[in-house]
Structure 1
Amino acid sequence: MSLNRTLVRGRDLARTAGDHAADVLGPLMLVVRGLRHHAAWARAWWQRTPGDRRGPALLLVAAVAASLAVLPYGLVLAGACLLASAAWAGRDRAPAAAPAPDPVQLKLQAVYAALTPYLARPEDPKPLYVHDGDHRAAFPAWEFDADGRLALLDLVYPAYFPDSEAAARARVEQVLQGKAGRTREYRFHWDEEGNRLRMEALPALPDDIAVQRFVAGPGELVLGVTDPGDSDRTIPLDRSGGRDHQPPVVWRTAARSADAHLLALGTPRSGTSTLLRGLALQALPHGDVVLVDGAGTGEYGCLAGRPGVRRVETGVQGAVAALQWAAGETTRRLAALDRARLVGSAPPRHATRPLWILVDHPVELSELAHAEGRPDPQDLLEVPLRQGRAARVSVVVAEHLASLERIRPVVRASARARVVLGAPTPEQAEAALGAPLDIAPAARMPAGRGYARLGGAAPVRLQVPAAPDPLDEDVPADRRDAVTALLPRVEPRGEAPAPAASLVKSPVRPGPAS
């Protein structure tokens, strides 16, 4: 115990002596460091002084030293001044750490620098955008999300910027999307009167919605869900996390609707076949369906033989026969409706029951039919497209976005309801939707994500409910079960099947356009 106590006391004494030495030697080391600094300065000054000036310099130093020696207390004052200057020069002059740059200001400055080449002109006397300029005058408001990404930006641009030209707008939108991140969709609001642009990052639409029984009225089909501000109502939906209410995109196809036909375009694997399958499942409880698969992939085999499904065709011969029957059926329905109006009676039920003609990839069928010398399937759609609204016949055509120019003009002119799935370019979106798209798509869009335009309304975002092929084993079981639950039940053998009109190959006689 005594030995430990002695060791502890010795350590305390050593620590006290060290602190005392540090207190004594601290100022001394400060003066020594300052004298070393003065010596280094004097040596550097002597080395850079020319040889012919060194003699006069030494004479001047000697004269000053002699003057100080003659004065009372001159050497003492000189020594005190030397020690004071050495203490000042020997202090710790490490530069203070610069404050960390604000990441928000850095990002905004990067956006400002990227926009400068497109919004600046050399002849502008008071430029708003200049190289190495400040972004505060050009960006009145901005917002960042919790992840530090730019969520909203309000910017001012010069009055001479050609904001009425689509190409000029597209360049600015592309720059903004690149700086804010291409993993999200953005909506751009151009205020041409006030020379302002507002960019807003859009939240992701829910992609965990499977096809189901939607709450819709007669003649209404739900294409998918959209943003709350782009729909006038909400409907209850079953999602993976439970039941929820979402704003739908409703396509109205009643006899008085101006958008009785739909054209769906998309990039490969964007979900156009899923859209057609979902529409067929919604239409079957209230009408009949004729389905033509131009790609011949067999993705609609689950509908074959189901009640209400007239035909599911994959070959050219069967497709031509089915579309010829659809054209003749449209003509027969119109004739039955005219007879009912003349006698003042109610129209027959078979003439008012909705009929849906779903055609997937008609361009491939047209090329095969042309090679075999058969009628063009797209030409056979002219009668249902032009006169189908009065006869409760609706046509849905799905095709690749790159094949838009090969679709017949009658299809493009009659199908006023438009859907584009995938990530189209601004030119492709305008050609497909018939109006400019003020939304910049993300670099990678999930399956079923796109845009819809019904009639003359503005395009809105769209997420199509998942309706995969239930025979595809690579699809999750819950998604396949959702589709299987909506398929009409096949009557057991031995029971009388539901009556269905037979396919009749009748010549197509186009009537007057409605």
Structure 2
Amino acid sequence: MDPRQLPRTLGGGRPVARGQELARTAADSAADIFHPLCVIARGLRVLAAGAWRRWQRTPGDRRGPTLLLAGSCAAIVMLLPYGPLLAGVVLMTLSAWAGRDRDAAYGTVRESEGERLQALYEALVPYFSVPEDPAPLYAHDGDWEEAFAGHSFDHEGRLASLELRYPAYFTDGEPEARARIEQLLQMKAGRGREYRFDWDAEANRLHVRVLPALPADIFAQRFVTAPGETVLGFTDPGAVHRTLPVFDGTDRRDEPPVLWRTGPRSTEPHLLVLGRPAAGTSTLLRSLALQALHQGDVVAVDGSGSGEFSFLRGRDGVLAVESSAAGALAVLEWASHETERRLTAANRARQEGRQAPEDVRRPLWIVVDRPTALGHLAAAEGRADPQVLLQVPLRHGRIANVTVVLGDHLDDAAAQLAEPVLALTRARVLLGAVTDEQVRAVLGAPPRTTPPPEAPPGRGYARLGTGPVHRLQVPATPDPYDEETSDHERRAVLSLLPADGRGDDPLPAGAT
């Protein structure tokens, strides 16, 4: 080798002597040689710390028998042939495993991740410890390895899942106590993500995991459902026991749906949809109306008067589409009388021991968007509140095979929705960027997940009666007559419409 090639330069431009380079190489070799010893020493320290913590948690009346048992086992091992050698090999193996390099590629913890877990552990100490506890699981000088049973990090080094133990005296049955822990974990694990909290009160464990975003690329289409089943939207895998095939425009896949069952055997025959402005309440109502047209008749009342349901006019199965106060009152009055007629006909058929007439068995859907706005308009014209006419369909609709779906703004619901509407619509959907308190007030139960950092249109929560609260993403069902609707979504909505009264195809010429 040419001696002139020996000097090298660093970033600062100063030459590095060959002796220094050889010294650095020797240091690296020594580090490689002593690395296993460092691993074993670190493992011995971890094992000793764990044994000391377990000894501190052992009650005083059990420490004597524990020492006697440990001494007896050690004496037996020492008396066995090759016992000390085997004990040393086992101890070194356990030490090497406990002190191994904790690389994320093998599902273990790097140094930075360990620091994050320790910081999270220390933040939980004031909530999971009391001065009276003689051997606290959470202490200011404690270690997170005993409290955290499992964890994982994502590729960005952020916490993706965590399973932690908590003491039995923690009041996990109080919603306020749970909320404090969930808020703390959300802040320490990283904002801007959705978390799911599963409390296992029997085992005193809390499972925390980061949830992926719900699919927002599902648009209106013909879903494979049984008679009486309607798709409200789609939720997390594992939250429901069923999947449906969907088409996203390029490929087909299976997604878990939130199904709402209507009809005479439904426990929750009516639905109330609330949300922020532009959160997707009208989108969900259009989706339900399109699905209902394949099973029965639809009456649509547009209280906002924006014409977002005008594309239904004249289609087979659409009995009326009204947006004025006078027209809405007339349609809802007819719907009330129709419910009474169906109820009487069904009762008479049962008394005579025969099946109800076909026109009674055919489902009737009453879809009302913005009833509070319609009530304001009716009051200005000196007319009665249209919500009064919904009492009969709401009370007797299940027997008469009449389904009522109402959608309104969240801010107008509490003060302006009639009491029968709130009392008789126990299947509910809440859309938009909402808080835990609002979810609890509307759905009757808190969500098991944190609110999303961003709520796209159609994103929210759903609860059917006393069931669990599900995350929900409504399939995109825009107004096909809106100028901002894309051609793809317009064709998807129009393809679901039945032919009009003249038998014309709903799709324009040349559309596919």
Normalised to the residue count of structure 1, the TM-score between the two structures is: 0.73
The alignment status of 1:151 with 2:160, answered yes or no, reads: yes
**Residue in 1 aligned with 2:184?**
175
Partner of 2:446: 436
Residue 324 (structure 2) pairs with residue 315 (structure 1): yes
2 CA distance for matches of 1:113 and 1:321? 65
Mapped partners of 1:22, 1:284: distance in 2? 85
The 1-side partners of 2:117 and 2:252 are apart by: 40
Q: What residue in structure 2 maps to residue 373 of structure 1?
A: 382
Per the alignment, residue 185 of structure 1 pairs with 194
Q: Does structure 1 residue 477 correspond to structure 2 residue 487?
A: yes
> Structure 1 448/11 Cα, relative in aligned 2: closer, same or farther at 3 Å?
closer
Q: Is contact 1:154-1:196 (8 Å) kept?
A: yes
CA distance in 2, matches of 1:310, 1:186: 44
Cα offsets for 1:408-431 (capped at 9, x unmatched)? 221222112122222432222122
Q: Which amino acid aligns with 1:482?
A: A
d(CA) in 2 for partners of 1:240 and 1:416?
34
Deviations 1:340-399 (A, max 9, x none): 334444433222211101111212223333344322222211100000111110001112
Aligned equivalents of 1:211, 1:132: Cα separation in 2:
56
1:413 paired residue number: 423
Q: Per the alignment, do residues 10 and 203 of structure 1 end up closer, same or farther by CA in structure 2, a change over 3 Å counting?
A: closer
| Alignment-derived partner of residue 105 in structure 1 | 114
Larger radius of gyration: 1
CA distance in 1, matches of 2:424, 2:259: 19
Name the structure 2 match of 1:509: none
1:138 corresponds to? 147
2:195 is paired with a residue whose SS is strand
Alignment-derived partner of residue 272 in structure 1: 281
- Report how far residue 187 of structure 1 moved: 1.6
SS at match of 1:439: coil
- Provide the residue aligned with 1:3 in structure 2: none
Is 1:424 aligned to residue 434 of structure 2?
Answer: yes
Corresponding residue for residue 460 of structure 1: 470
Q: 1:287 aligns with which of 296, 309, 314?
A: 296
- Is the partner of 1:404 in helix, strand or coil? helix
Distance 1:375 1:468, change over 3 A: same
Please say if residues 182 and 442 of structure 1, whose CA atoms lie closer than 8 Å, have aligned partners that are also in contact.
Answer: no
Runs of 4+ in 1 over 6 A off after TM superposition: 9-12
Taking the TM superposition and a 5 Å limit, the aligned residue runs for 1:11-30 are: none
8 A Cα contact 1:265 1:399, kept in partner = yes
Alignment-mate amino acid for residue 219 of structure 1: G
Alignment match, 2:497: 487
Q: Could you tell me which of 459, 462, 486 is aligned with 1:449?
A: 459
Tell me the alpha carbon deviations over residues 105-148 of structure 1, each in whole angstroms, 9 at most, x when there is no partner: 13223322433343344565544444465322322211112332
Equivalent residues of 2:303, 2:370 under 8 A apart: yes
Residues 386-405 of structure 1: pairs in structure 2 closer than 5 A = 386-405=395-414
Following superposition, the deviation at residue 22 of structure 1 comes to 9.7
Deviation at 1:440, TM superposition (A): 1.6
Separation in structure 2 between the aligned mates of residue 402 and residue 105 of structure 1, nearest angstrom = 45
Comparing 206-215 with 333-342, greater Cα deviation is found at 333-342
Shift in CA distance, 491/179, structure 1 to aligned 2, threshold 3 Å? same
Equivalent in 267, 290, 298 of residue 307 of structure 2: 298
Structure 1 runs not aligned, ≥5 long: 1-8, 24-99, 495-514
CA distance in 2, matches of 1:292, 1:481: 24
Of 188, 195, 209, 2:204 maps to 195
Q: What are the superposed Cα offsets for residues 404-454 of structure 1, whole Å, 9 maximum, x if unpaired?
A: 323222122211212222243222212222223222222212222222222
* C-alpha distance 127-353 of structure 1, shift in aligned 2 (>3 A): same
TM-score, structure 2 length as denominator?
0.73
Tell whether the 8 Å contact from 1:404 to 1:432 is kept in structure 2 after alignment. Answer: no
Q: Quick check: 2:162–2:207 contact (8 Å CA) kept in 1? A: yes
Counterparts of 2:450 and 2:503 in 1: how far apart (Å)?
Answer: 54
Question: What letter matches 2:147 in structure 1?
Answer: A
Offset, 1:196: 2.0
Distance 2:325 2:296 in 1: 25
Q: Are 2:213 and 1:217 aligned?
A: no
Identity %: 55
Does residue 1:325 correspond to 2:344, yes or no?
Answer: no
- Equivalenced residue count is 407
The alignment partner of 1:292 has SS state of strand
Aligned-partner Cα distance in 2 for 1:169–1:175 = 10
RMSD, aligned α-carbons: 3.0
The answer to whether the Cα contact below 8 Å between 2:263 and 2:402 also exists between their aligned partners in 1 is no
Partners of 2:120 and 2:490 lie apart in 1 by: 46
Measure, in 2, the Cα distance between the counterparts of 1:318 and 1:234. Answer: 40
